[in-house]
A and B are shown apart, each in its own frame.
Chain A
Amino acid sequence: MILIFGYSKLAAQLAYRLKKEKKEFTIIEPDKSCMEFVKKDMYTSNIYDYECYDDSELINIGIQNNIKTLFCMHNNFNQNLFVTLSARNLNKDLQIISYCNNINESKKLKLAGANTTINPYETAGLKIFRQIHKPMAVKILDDILFKNTPLDIQEILINKSCLLNGKTLDNIDLFEKNNLILLGIQDKEISNQFIFSSRGINHKIDEDDIIVVLGYKSDIIRFKKEVNL
């Protein structure tokens, strides 16, 4: 379940996309005047007018068990910060994505516990830059990520029973066999940083590692079956 706090323009756009992807989500909007828009757009029927100063309101919605992702999208930065901090205290594993306007706000939100911050001005500026700098690469990745192409980028979590568990990258020919490209690997034991396979390190895959592969959707499904996932 996804929770959106604050119904800003960005939140409205996000709600629209979530509905398109048929995902279930809840909206909290403390402001009465903004509530009108929530009810008008009606992307979801789970709407609350909590102010969220009280932790019990968040617990009531299910921040500790039901909710997996929280979007703090309120236009008021301080309110976002407050909810980010409260939510992080209530649930250590929650994915929190918060809206910010500049680098300083982003730093504060990350201190408060946000996993990711989104600055619309920055994303737009970067997108334009990429269109100038690497038009083809951007188009290809955009198509793969957001459009309905046969290609897909997927992250695969390695579990105990997986055949890859305990093997080193050099000894795995399953990627090549299935026409997949291994982009890289994230090993939580080492760091949160993503290691690109092009670095040429012969990494040993363990339980709880995440590997990221690029390839045709059908190939990825077959690959998953072959490695017993």
Chain B
Amino acid sequence: MKNIVVNLAYKIEASKLHTSFRNFLYNTLVNNSSKHKKIFDLSMIFLVISTVGILIYEVKHTLPDYINYFEYFAVGIFILEWLGRLTVSFESHKQIIHDYEESQFLNIKYNIFDSMKIITKKKFDYIFSLNSIIDLLAILPSYRPLRILRIFLLFRLFKVLKYSSSLNIFTRVFIEKKLELTLLLLLYLLVIFFSATIIYIYEGNGLNDKINSFVDAIYWSFITVSTIGYGDITPVSDAGRAATIILILASYTVIAFFTSIVTSSISEKLDSIKQSNTLATIKKLKKYILVCGYGKTAQVLIDNLKDNNYNFLILENNLEAIKSHKDAKINIIHGDATSISLLKKIGINKNISKVVVLTSDDTVNLSIILSIRSINSKIPIICRSNRAKVKKKLIIAGATNLIELNDTASYVALGYLNAPVAYEAIDDILVDYKGAIMSEIEIFENSDFINKPLSSIEFSNFNINFIGIVHDNDKDNFVFNPEKSSIILKEKDHLILIGYEKTINEFKTYIQSHRIIS
């Protein structure tokens, strides 16, 4: 028996079918970033709302058969979902393998019941968790003998909350402010009990024919405290009226407190709602640039990136800095870029083409670089260094390019000093301000020009300056204005040109139109 179970566990572990099934379950039920989950959540919300709609319709109408079948279908799906979640919650066979291997290693006899105990405990932990109870309450009342509990079908609506992540934040508000809210609730109950007792003592003795029991007094107290005041029960004695006045004054305080606690904590949460939205939009982007630190340099960079339709995400630790540059279209996250967990959440591995580190503190920059390198060793990192002396350390940490503010500025100053006209012209070329641009045009695969001499490209038909060529196999070497018939073009060679946007685009189309049609 024991051997069979252990063998089975190993078989499951090795089975491809099982892993793919598990991954499927995980992606549909748990993984927030998967496409399956989104579709699944939406259809579950539809099911819940339609079944609750049926419940309401049922009050005054008899249901046709097909609606009954739909109800059974929905319940079936709910049951499958619950079973799926139960399966995903804990991997039993792994526990068995783990325990078995441990006992082998320690050379003790393997006791299968120990593993079973742990597995049952974990499974029951899940069954009695809040999520599972909501699920169960949504399923169980469908069973005929339990029809009396039909009202619990409304718990299905809570399932809707589970499927929507932004609504989750509201529940988190209540969890985080638990202490304040409990105190407030106690105060509320005390006020109600206090005034109910007063009114019952003075008017419950037959003076007020509406107050026949303590429950009536409590009900009156509650309706008054909530400022609803139906007026079905009203005090008739002076003492009762005095109690009402005290009650109303107290109720205002309680309500004011309650409102302020909830609104303040929701507005605190608003930033995190926005951030999770930003994260979601960023996850959809295929390629983007990560900018850490939002200062003056970053502003210049970002303005240019925006003008040229680059996607980017900014990480900034200082809330003031974020608020000072408000622009709704900019993806910005408030957070510490040195934190590995935050970087992991963003996903350094997947879609980031480059990282730019721009804080004014070199030690912070160093820490950010190391955090990024701990996740991804290949991604190019451009880093700002604020002192010449730390350059070496930033390179050791893993920066691919360094920019020092005063260093670059002094180069520019020198450029203007030595050749002002030429330098300004080149500056313009690189910034694309006045139309003339320097451009790199790649010879793509399938291009007709591959393995042909450079002279086969008719440069003279276009108003452009051909400057030179960079070969793919020798990227560090720029070949200036070569003899055109002696160069044979290869795939991924880059032609360097200067021209105006229009002429460059004409040339680009010319190059791209010459492709081998396969």
Q: Residues of A at under 8 Å CB distance from B?
A: 2, 9-10, 12-14, 16-18, 21, 69, 71, 95, 97, 99, 101-102, 115-116, 118-134, 136-141, 143, 145-146, 151, 153-155, 179, 181-184, 186, 193-194, 196-200, 210, 212, 214-216
Which stretch, B100-108, B167-175, B405-413, B449-457, touches the partner chain A?
B405-413
Contacts of A184 in B (CB 8 A): 425, 436
Q: What's the Cα separation between A210 and B301 when bound, in Å?
A: 32
For A97, give its contact among B416, B440, B475 (CB under 8 Å).
Answer: B416
What are 27 inter-chain pairs, A to B, with CB distance below 8 A?
A13-B406, A13-B407, A13-B409, A14-B410, A71-B413, A118-B409, A123-B405, A123-B408, A124-B300, A126-B300, A128-B382, A129-B304, A132-B289, A132-B305, A132-B354, A132-B382, A136-B478, A151-B480, A181-B466, A183-B425, A193-B434, A194-B421, A196-B436, A198-B464, A198-B499, A199-B436, A199-B500
Contacts of A116 in B (CB 8 A): 416, 420, 424
Contacts A14-B414, A128-B356: A196 and B408 contacting too (C-beta < 8 A)?
Answer: no
Instruction: For the complex formed, measure the closest distance between the CB of B301 and the CB atoms of chain A, giving whole angstroms.
Output: 4
Contact yes or no, B426 A97, CB < 8 A: no
Q: What's the Cα separation between A118 and B481 when bound, in Å?
A: 32
Contact yes or no, B425 A125, CB < 8 A: no
Contacts A153-B419, A153-B426: A181 and B463 contacting too (C-beta < 8 A)?
Answer: no
Q: What's the Cα separation between A95 and B414 when bound, in Å?
A: 12
Instruction: For the complex formed, measure the closest distance between the CB of A217 and the CB atoms of chain B, giving whole angstroms.
Output: 11
Contact yes or no, B297 A130, CB < 8 A: no
Q: Which residue of B lies closest to A182 (CB)?
A: B465
Which 3 A-B residue pairs are closest in the complex by CB-CB distance?
A125-B300, A121-B296, A200-B463
Q: What's the Cα separation between A154 and B420 when bound, in Å?
A: 10
Q: What's the Cα separation between A178 and B474 when bound, in Å?
A: 26
Contact yes or no, B300 A122, CB < 8 A: yes
For A118, give its contact among B356, B412, B422, B496 (CB under 8 Å).
Answer: B412
On chain B, which size bracket covers the interface? 35 or more
Instruction: For the complex formed, measure the closest distance between the CB of A105 and the CB atoms of chain B, giving whole angstroms.
Output: 12
Instruction: For the complex formed, measure the closest distance between the CB of A168 and the CB atoms of chain B, giving whole angstroms.
Output: 16
Q: What's the Cα separation between A69 and B499 when bound, in Å?
A: 32
User: Is B417 in the interface zone, CB < 8 Å from A?
Assistant: yes
Q: Mark B489-514, 1 if CB is under 8 A from A, else 0.
A: 00000101011100100000000000
Q: Which residue of A lies closest to B478 (CB)?
A: A140
Contacts of A119 in B (CB 8 A): 409
Contact yes or no, B481 A181, CB < 8 A: yes
Q: What's the Cα separation between A118 and B411 when bound, in Å?
A: 10
Instruction: For the complex formed, measure the closest distance between the CB of B461 and the CB atoms of chain A, giving whole angstroms.
Output: 12
Q: What's the Cα separation between A45 and B393 when bound, in Å?
A: 33
Q: What's the Cα separation between A140 and B476 when bound, in Å?
A: 9
**Which residues of B165-192 have CB atoms within 8 Å of chain A's CB atoms?**
none
Instruction: For the complex formed, measure the closest distance between the CB of A32 and the CB atoms of chain B, giving whole angstroms.
Output: 22
Q: A121-B405, A134-B438, A198-B503 are in contact. List 6 more A-B contacts (CB 8 A).
A: A95-B417, A121-B297, A141-B438, A181-B467, A196-B498, A199-B463
Contacts A118-B412, A120-B408: A194 and B424 contacting too (C-beta < 8 A)?
Answer: yes
